[in-house]
A and B are shown apart, each in its own frame.
Chain A
Amino acid sequence: MNCFEFRRQFLANPASKDAALLAHRQECRNCHDFALEIERTDRELFAAMHVDVPHNLRSRILLRQSLKTHDWPRLTGYMAMAASVLIAIMIALWQPRFGNADIDDAVVAYLKDSEELATDKGRMVNTEEINDLLQPMGMMVDVSIGPVQAIKPCVIRGRQAAHLVLAGEKSPVNVLYMPEEPVERRMEITYQNQRILIIPCPRGSFAIVGQTDETLARVEHRLHEASSWL
């Protein structure tokens, strides 16, 4: 592959794993620098694309769907406003009744809003610290959980939960322990190039979040092997 072909292909798809592309990048310093520049611009572009969305967009979408579904009769301006407010309150109160049909939404909402946990790769969290956090929530772990890079308490759907960052095979894996949030069955969803596995456990559920090339089943196995329940 020559430099021209490399740049043409790289501009079309910087994330390409094509072997010839990667090999040329390793061999050619200029093309490697070019690739770094394009990757940096793409990261900045991704961030720049994330304009803020209008306040309460979700609520307005749900409200409009609700109005159409119930086929409200025509009302005068004042009564229409009162009806809209009433429906908005109903929707806000309605959501918790779904129980854990929407636990996956709650996990995604938490991931969207939470900042990435800072990890000090040189220092792992020891089991004692992990259990100080988990024990009040009804579980403990032993060393077979493997390397844990960070932990913190968090709140998901108004309930106390725990956020751990485990060292995965390829990249860090986020694990959310959600006591009192039982799920009937395993769920798997994707969110922004990440896979999320939600699994039941004796006291509630776990959400395991990792990159698409990470084998989440291995992390699931580590959690089951290491956990004991109080």
Chain B
Amino acid sequence: MKYMRNKQAKFTALVNVYSADLYRYAYWLCRDRTLAEDLVQETFTRAWRSIDSLRDESAAKYWLITTLRREHARCYARKQPDRMESDIENLESTVPRYDTSIEAHVLRCALAQLSLEFREPLLLQVLWGYSCKEIATMLDMNEGAVMTRLSRARQKMRELLAGDSSREKSINTGVAKI
């Protein structure tokens, strides 16, 4: 009984601390709210089964992220959401306290447009705070390759954001953009 209480307490702690950021990570991987919640649910179901092997907090966090990644990889082969832009708009209109500034919207659209190979290392670095070395371990790549992807991810983000602002300027000056 005491064992079950300890196990439950440990599991509840993991859910309380990590479920929100795991959902965000899942959302930005798959860009689908329903699928993101499914991924998180499945990850925590697996966590319950493996909880005795999760010794400390950093191991648990790493384990949760890696498990979610694998679940996403399984789903990714079966389903690729193709209406991500309208999903971002729906998210904005239905969820209260959502940052609806134009800048935030533009950033989200740009991030959603990045391909997964660039988006994922950027998520791991910016959202979770992992180092290049840690990301390399998680993605099973060498550190140099991770740094290249991160560098290109940010370059692409700059290009997408610059493209958006020049589109705005064209509209404002009444010049048609070809």
**Residues in chain A within 8 A of chain B (CB atoms):** 8-9, 11-13, 38, 41-42, 44-54, 57-58, 60-62, 64-65, 68-69, 95, 98, 101-102, 104-105, 108-109, 112, 189-193
Contact = CB atoms under 8 A, between A and B. Distances in A.
Nearest to B61: A190
B12 A62 contact: yes
Given A13-B150, A38-B154, A61 B107 contact: no
Given A44-B104, A57-B23, A61-B41, A190 B57 contact: yes
B8 to A, nearest CB: 8
B16 A65 contact: no
Interface in B1-48: 5-6, 9, 11-13, 15-17, 19-20, 23-24, 27-28, 33, 37, 40-41, 44-45, 48
Interface string B79-115: 0000000000001000111110001100110010000
A182 to B, nearest CB: 17
B103 A44 contact: yes
Interface in B114-154: 122-123, 125-127, 129, 131-132, 146-148, 150-151, 154
Given A42-B126, A58-B19, A68-B48, A49 B24 contact: yes
B81 to A, nearest CB: 15
Contacts of B154: 11-12, 38, 41
A61 B13 contact: no
Contacts of B122: 45
B65 interface: no
Contacts of B37: 54, 57
9 cross-chain pairs, A with B, having the tightest CB-CB distances, nearest first: A12-B147, A11-B151, A48-B107, A12-B151, A52-B95, A11-B154, A12-B150, A105-B16, A53-B23
Nearest to A43: B126
Contact of B19 (A51, A52, A53, A69): A53
Contact of A53 (B20, B107, B150, B155): B20
Contacts of B27: 51
Contact of A52 (B98, B103, B126): B98
B98 A65 contact: no
21 contacts: A12-B150, A13-B150, A38-B154, A41-B157, A41-B158, A44-B103, A51-B24, A51-B108, A52-B91, A53-B24, A54-B37, A57-B23, A57-B37, A58-B15, A62-B11, A65-B45, A101-B6, A102-B12, A102-B16, A104-B13, A190-B57
- The residue in A57, A69, A193 that gathers the most chain B C-beta atoms within 10 A of its C-beta is A57
Given A46-B127, A64-B41, A105-B12, A191 B24 contact: no
Interface residues of B, number: 53
A49 B98 CA distance: 11
Nearest to A101: B9
Contacts, number: 123
Given A49-B126, A57-B20, A65-B45, 13 more contacts: A8-B151, A12-B146, A13-B131, A13-B147, A38-B154, A41-B107, A41-B157, A49-B111, A51-B91, A58-B19, A61-B44, A65-B11, A108-B16
A62 B6 CA distance: 15
A41 B126 CA distance: 11
B58 interface: yes
Contacts of A46: 126-127
A12 B107 contact: no
B161 interface: yes
B109 to A, nearest CB: 10
B39 to A, nearest CB: 12
B35 to A, nearest CB: 12
Given A8-B151, A41-B157, A48-B111, A192 B16 contact: no
A190 B148 contact: no
